[in-house]
A = this chain, B = another copy of it.
Amino acid sequence: MRSEGDDLTTRARIRDAAIVAFGRRGFAGASLREIAKDAGVSPALVVHHFGGKDGLRSACDDFVVGSFMADKERLTGASASAMMRAALEDVEGRMPHLDYLARMLVDDGPAADELFDALYRGTREMLDQQADAGLLRQLDDPEMTAAYVTLYGIAPILMRRQLARAFGEDTLTPELMARSTLPVLELFTQGIYADDHLLSAARDALHRPERSGP
């Protein structure tokens, strides 16, 4: 009997192979036969366990999102440096999950909305707490800011390969992630512009949007 909890069962092996395949080639690009071969089983068994390709997809969705949420919950309340260390520690081990999450978020699958909402809500709550603690500046549009902080947190995961390539690596290494910590925090605590010429120019442009004549 298949119990949801214990792992390493055949069912779990299939699911893990599917996560890798979907993450690498996308849902449409990965075939049941390839997944079955990677898991060392027959294609029919995949259907037997998950009902079909769509069922396999939602099982993967649930598992990846679930373990991501568990990780997130486990680290809630931990110190910032502990979170950082945990995130850096095995990027490689969780790489298939990251691949899968990235694919989810751009493929508009059914579970992607739920995942993004959870991330956005988490970011909003975090920012609210920090605002209450007096750690934040006065924000012009807190909700939109929270949305962009969420986007900016996901961006390096979505484009991890390009980010790595820009620094001569071919995948995201712990060193690269460590190196990116300071610049990101620098941006978030003091920005990169020395004065507010761009900001006030934008304010002007938005408040009286003049059109250029012929």
A-side residues, CB < 8 A to B, are 25-29, 80-82, 84-85, 102-103, 105-108, 112-113, 116-117, 120, 127, 130, 134-137, 139-141, 143-145, 147-149, 151-152, 154-156, 158-159, 161-163, 165-167, 178-199, 201-206, 209, 212
Contact = CB atoms under 8 A, between A and B. Distances in A.
B158 A158 contact: yes
Contact of A185 (B182, B202, B212): B202
A165 B166 CA distance: 31
Dominant secondary structure at the A interface? helix
Contacts of A204: 81
Kindly report how many copies of this chain are found in the complex they form together: 2
A120 B137 CA distance: 30
A201 B26 contact: no
B186 A199 contact: yes
A199 to B, nearest CB: 5
A137 B180 contact: no
B159 A182 contact: no
Contacts of A179: 141, 144
Contact of A186 (B139, B167, B181, B189): B139
Given A159-B154, A161-B108, A202-B181, A186 B140 contact: yes
A84 to B, nearest CB: 6
Contacts of A105: 159, 162
A117 to B, nearest CB: 8
Nearest to A180: B144
B26 A107 contact: yes
